[in-house]
A and B are shown apart, each in its own frame.
Chain A
Amino acid sequence: MTVTRILTRPGVLRIVFAMIVALSFSIVQTDVSSAQDASVLSGIVVGVEVDENGNLTRFAVSDSAGGVTTFELSASTQYGLENQAGDRWVSTQSDESSEAARHLRDHRERFAPITVSSENGIALSVVEREEGKLEANLGYLFAVFAITWALFFVYVLYMGSKQRVLQHEIAKLKGKLG
């Protein structure tokens, strides 16, 4: 009996189908709060405002058309910013507000572009502008896809050559046994 037959047995098929349905249901049930619904602006940091404790309170971004937009912050504002060396810092306004101010000042001094997603003038996320570093990021992406395909390809080739050797030996022995 081949694996195909085992896998196409109604019982096994039902289990596989149930697993797929359970997985899809759990994903669909996931509470959706995608950042893509918010408005997005990319540009250079031109102003950083802090309170007496050094916590970030507001910041301003200048876009490519020269317009300046000021963003307020909420406790849940997320940050994903990199320093000059490329080390990524991820945090939220409630956790590390003063660190956020330091990173934004650093971006202002370096003229490093950022992308801000916002709703009603309140920043939801402040991240590195990816278009500015496509090559670095695509390198990692390319590596993953290349390795995955290479490994699958090599594995299938290995199985093919193994089967050829086996078929040859089986045919030889069958011939011997008459």
Chain B
Amino acid sequence: MTKVLNLLDPLLIISAALMGLTLYLIFIWVPTELNQGAVQRILYFHVPVAWGSMLGIFVVSGSSFMYLWKKNDKWDRLAVASAEVGVVFGGLMLLTGMIWARPVWAVWWTGEAKLTTALILFFIYVAYLMFRAYFPPGAQRQRLAAIIGLIGAIDTPIIYFAANLWSQAHPPIITGPAGDPESTLGSDLGMVLLASTLTFTFIFIYLVQTRYKIRKSEDDLIELKRASTASVMTGAN
């Protein structure tokens, strides 16, 4: 039986090394941003975890699509593993965003578009996992969960473009195809943001891999229980 929490896992070693480098960059190397001061450093965690939560729903929807197409359980396992890690990243995105907003906006939360759509993403993850937890196991659960996963992905582009579509309090998009060319993000700040994003991407992959192995064990256990029940019934006959 494979060990799930292997300290010599290459992904874990890479993630740890990158995290060490990222922390050095955040706290020692990068200069303090003038407009927000020390709290701006929160964004080096907030943006990457937000990226992770969106990556999560991409993987959920992609593997849900593959499951509906190929009907192979491995895609269903990948979807559920990614959804669970996505909940962790989504929760962190909301919490870190709220903590950043308090000193900068003077409120913990406001009902503006980006925040609301991000909260909806978190609820989509929770709904997906609740559905899987309460619906009886089997192919029908996997099919319906895959459909929920596909529908959930619709929220992702809305979150990404929300700050530009409804110009409100949230800072505009600084990265990606809709990034603001007039952005005041400095080269040093951008470099640290990139390093942090890369680090959290590796952490995301490591956690999904670990959760996938557990999901595989859960499926093995269900199979063994079925075999055990069958052998008991055969013995009784």
Contacts and interface: CB of A to CB of B under 8 A. Distances in A.
Interface of A: 1-4, 6-7, 16, 20, 22-24, 26-36, 40, 78, 80, 86-88, 90, 115, 117, 125, 127-128, 130, 133-134, 136-138, 140-141, 143-145, 147-148, 151-152, 155-156, 159-160, 162-163, 166-167, 169-171, 173-174, 176-177
B20 interface: no
Contacts of A156: 5, 207, 210
B194 A140 contact: no
Contacts of B11: 4
Given A36-B186, A152-B203, A159 B35 contact: no
B217 A170 contact: yes
Given A33-B186, A86-B103, 13 more contacts: A2-B213, A16-B201, A20-B201, A27-B174, A30-B190, A34-B186, A115-B34, A127-B34, A127-B35, A144-B99, A156-B207, A174-B224, A176-B228
Contact of B45 (A36, A144, A163): A144
Interface string B159-177: 0000000000000001111
A3 B209 contact: yes
Contacts of A36: 31, 34, 186, 188
A34 B187 CA distance: 7
Contacts of A24: 194
B103 A163 contact: no
Contacts of B99: 140, 143-144, 147
B175 A136 contact: no
Main DSSP-derived SS at the A contact region: helix
Contacts of A134: 38
B4 A2 contact: no
B98 to A, nearest CB: 10
B221 A166 contact: yes
A30 B174 contact: yes
Interface stretch (B88-96, B131-139, B148-156): B88-96
Interface in B62-121: 74, 78, 81, 88, 91-92, 95-96, 99-100, 102-106
Tell me whether chain B's interface is mostly helix, strand or loop, or mixed: helix
Given A2-B213, A137-B103, A140-B100, A30 B183 contact: yes
B227 interface: yes
A141 B186 contact: no
Interface residues of B, number: 76
A40 B186 CA distance: 16
Nearest to B72: A1
A23 B193 CA distance: 10
Q: Which 10 A-B pairs have the closest CB atoms?
A: A34-B186, A130-B37, A137-B38, A3-B212, A27-B190, A163-B4, A3-B209, A173-B224, A166-B217, A80-B35
Nearest to B169: A90
B187 A35 contact: no
A2 B212 contact: yes
Given A23-B175, A160-B4, A140 B214 contact: no
Interface string B201-237: 1010101111111101110110011011001000000
A35 B102 CA distance: 24
Nearest to A27: B190
8 contacts: A26-B177, A30-B185, A31-B183, A32-B185, A117-B34, A130-B32, A159-B5, A159-B211
Nearest to B49: A148
